[in-house]
Amino acid sequence: MMLRELGLSGRSIWKLIRQFVSAAAVPSLLFYFGLRQGSLTAAVGAGGGWAAILQVHALIRYRLVDPMVLYGLVFTAGQVAVALAANSPVVFAGGGVAENLIDGLGLLGSVAIRRPLLPSVIDRIIRQHAQAVLTLPVRAALGRLTLAWAVGCLARAAGLYVALTHMALGPFLVVNTLAGWPVTAVGVLASVAYVGAQTRRAVRVRPKGRRSLRTCLARLAA
């Protein structure tokens, strides 16, 4: 029921599943099988290279410089470089720990200086794609969600660190994959549902069209 309210059709859901497989599962599998062949360079190159190709494709496809995609591209390049310099597969496999720590601290910092990141990012996205602006109640809800996401990212970083230090590399890659994109997707759906519950009129729409915040986010995810 909630998926229908968010504007996600069966086709959209399958597209999200394909994105999970290509963006999360495939890099981990390539990295693991590269290690099984006894080559850290091949493992890091295959896993990191696949992730980088997807990010470059996203930049070309949307024909705009997306800061989030650029961040992912730079992070992947740094992750590969550090793993090769340290000659340690654990460094590459543990990239999710560092990424969640950076994201959590960044979101928490934006709350601390009273400039929550989520309202600014969402407002910029829907202005570009939907010609709409956020109302004050929605901004307030997104501000609270910024803190929630900060805590969630820091908690996930801590959990992944514990898993990395107590599990073999193969099982950890499975945990890392499942704790990444799928958990993030569930968090996004819950966040959208929360915003929708806070206000029925989420967006002040310009005359050209009428779209709710939930519809805008659902179409961007499609």
pLDDT digit string, tens, across residues 18-45 = 766 776 677 777 887 887 777 888 888 8
Which residue segment(s) compose the domain that 169 sits in? 2-221
- How far is 139 from 116, CA to CA, in rounded Å? 9
Token pair recorded at residue 209? 């069209």
Q: How confident is the model at residue 6 (pLDDT cuts 50, 70, 90)?
A: very low
How far CA 181 is from CA of 24, 62, 72, 204, 210, in Å, comes to 7, 21, 14, 31, 30
User: Which residues partner with 203 through β-bridges?
Assistant: 134
Q: What is the pLDDT of residues 166-213, one digit of tens each?
A: 999 889 988 988 888 889 888 988 888 888 777 655 444 444 444 555
Has residue 98 got a pLDDT over 70?
yes
- How far is 150 from 143, CA to CA, in rounded Å? 11
Residues 6+ apart with CB under 8 A from 76: 48, 51, 52, 55
Counted domains in the chain:
1
Percentage above 90 pLDDT, the chain: 20
- How far is 24 from 137, CA to CA, in rounded Å? 34
CB-based contact 204:132 (threshold 8 Å): yes
